[in-house]
């Protein structure tokens, strides 16, 4: 039983401490019941991923490496922009953005969109250039038909009321459909064309992920845009926001609710466990399969800690960024394409 309890304590500490979830859907509870239900939902999400980590610890390690690579892919762009805007910006900021930690907000004072410098200069590369026929910029019939069906669903206001059940149980949603963004998304669905993307890389990406693009596009119909790092950087480059948020690294650390004590205890437990195994191996005392499995969890957790050392944990509220203007239909198309394409629906 000493072996069982020792292994179980390490397994629980490892699988719980490596959970770094995205910022949850922002709601405002109107009574104690809704607040209790919201807390239960957030706790259930953590428990769910804890159980999943028990079944597949290598998945958490793979996601940690993927998060690190995603941040590295846009780090150079953010470094250029932070020097231009003269704001503090670190990898932790980019991690926070990828978690949904920054929300662009539109209101009645937000001016309508105008052409960006890229559009006004006529810098439309035409997607595939001369590699296709005269209809190179036209979409395939299958894609056009799919987007037409998707638009009809939107026109029947399916997405307008998609979050009504969430509002009933967990509090009022902090976002609503914005009429200007609604019209921009509708126009983007109707008029999307390969010429509207920056280059052939974006065009090919759209042709591969047009279904996911349509889902991501509908998330831009609201008065609040929860963007990941790539989308936030593109919104800044296009001028939808005029400056990156001025958030000190200490402020990001303040939002980070990662419990250092829990991690220290976990690492100490792992170190003591490994030492015990080494002593028993030297003494030629046999080890159980449970201990070998626990050792693999410990190694996986240690590597995951390394890759996630700069990622905030348990952030519950996003940072509001006022929009400088509305986007244009072409900008909406590109911002949607810059979003994550490996998820199955809203609710990030």
% of the chain at pLDDT higher than 90 = 30
Which pair of structure tokens corresponds to residue 193? 């064309």
Of 129 and 224, more confident: 224
Q: Which residue has the tokens 């050392």?
A: 309
Task: Encode pLDDT of 105-141 as tens digits.
Answer: 998 888 887 665 555 444 444 444 443 433 344 677 7
Of 314 and 232, more confident: 232
pLDDT at 159 over 60: no
The span from the CA of 53 to the CA of 297, in Å, is 9
pTM, two decimal places? 0.83
The span from the CA of 276 to the CA of 326, in Å, is 61
% of the chain at pLDDT higher than 70 = 84
What's the pLDDT band for 224 if we cut at 50, 70, 90?
A: very high
The lowest-confidence range among 35-39, 82-86, 191-195, 342-346 is 342-346
The span from the CA of 166 to the CA of 220, in Å, is 19
The span from the CA of 337 to the CA of 19, in Å, is 28
Looking at residues 162-176, what average pLDDT do you find?
A: 68
Task: Encode pLDDT of 57-111 as tens digits.
Answer: 888 899 999 999 999 999 999 999 999 999 989 999 999 999 999 999 998 888 8
pLDDT of residue 55: 87
The span from the CA of 117 to the CA of 214, in Å, is 25
Which pair of structure tokens corresponds to residue 237? 């480059």
Of 18 and 153, more confident: 18
Q: Which residues share a beta bridge with 102?
A: 319
pLDDT of residue 129: 40
Q: For the chain, which residues make up each domain, given as ranges?
A: 102-249+319-337
> What residues have CB less than 8 Å from 318, skipping those under 6 apart?
23, 26, 100, 101, 102, 103, 226
pLDDT of residue 251: 78
Which pair of structure tokens corresponds to residue 274? 């490994």
pLDDT of residue 243: 92
> What residues have CB less than 8 Å from 106, skipping those under 6 apart?
178, 180, 181, 223, 224, 225, 323, 326
pLDDT at 45 over 80: yes
Hey, is 45 helix, strand or coil?
helix
């Amino acid at each position: 039983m000493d072996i069982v309890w020792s292994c179980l304590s390490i397994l629980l500490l490892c699988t719980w401490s490596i959970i770094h979830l995205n910022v949850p859907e922002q709601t405002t509870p109107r009574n104690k019941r809704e607040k209790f239900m919201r807390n239960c939902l957030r706790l259930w999400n953590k428990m769910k991923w804890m159980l999943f980590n028990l079944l597949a610890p290598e998945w958490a390690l793979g996601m940690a490496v993927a998060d690190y690579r995603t941040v590295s892919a846009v780090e150079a762009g953010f470094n250029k922009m932070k020097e231009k805007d003269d704001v503090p910006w670190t990898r932790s900021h980019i991690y926070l953005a990828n978690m949904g930690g920054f929300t662009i907000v539109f209101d009645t004072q937000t001016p309508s969109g105008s052409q960006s410098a890229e559009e006004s200069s006529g810098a439309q590369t035409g997607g595939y250039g001369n590699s296709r026929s005269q209809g190179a910029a036209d979409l395939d019939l299958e894609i056009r038909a799919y987007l037409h069906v998707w638009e009809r669903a939107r026109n029947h206001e399916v997405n307008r009321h998609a979050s009504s059940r969430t509002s009933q149980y967990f509090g009022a949603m902090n976002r609503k459909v914005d009429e200007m963004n609604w019209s921009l998304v509708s126009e983007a669905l109707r008029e999307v064309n390969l010429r509207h993307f920056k280059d052939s890389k974006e065009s090919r990406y759209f042709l591969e992920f047009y279904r996911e693009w349509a889902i991501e596009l509908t998330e831009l119909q609201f008065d609040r845009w929860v963007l990941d790092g790539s989308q936030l950087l593109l919104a800044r480059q296009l001028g939808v926001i005029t400056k990156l948020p001025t958030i000190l690294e200490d402020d990001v650390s303040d939002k980070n609710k990662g419990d250092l004590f829990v991690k220290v205890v976990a690492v100490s437990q792992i170190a003591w466990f490994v030492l015990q195994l080494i002593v028993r191996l030297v003494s030629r005392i046999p080890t159980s399969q449970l201990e070998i499995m626990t050792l693999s969890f410990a190694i996986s957790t240690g590597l995951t800690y390394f890759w996630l050392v700069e990622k905030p944990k348990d952030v519950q509220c996003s940072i509001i960024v006022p929009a400088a203007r509305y986007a244009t239909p072409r900008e909406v198309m590109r911002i949607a394409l810059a979003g994550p394409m490996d998820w199955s629906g809203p609710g990030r």
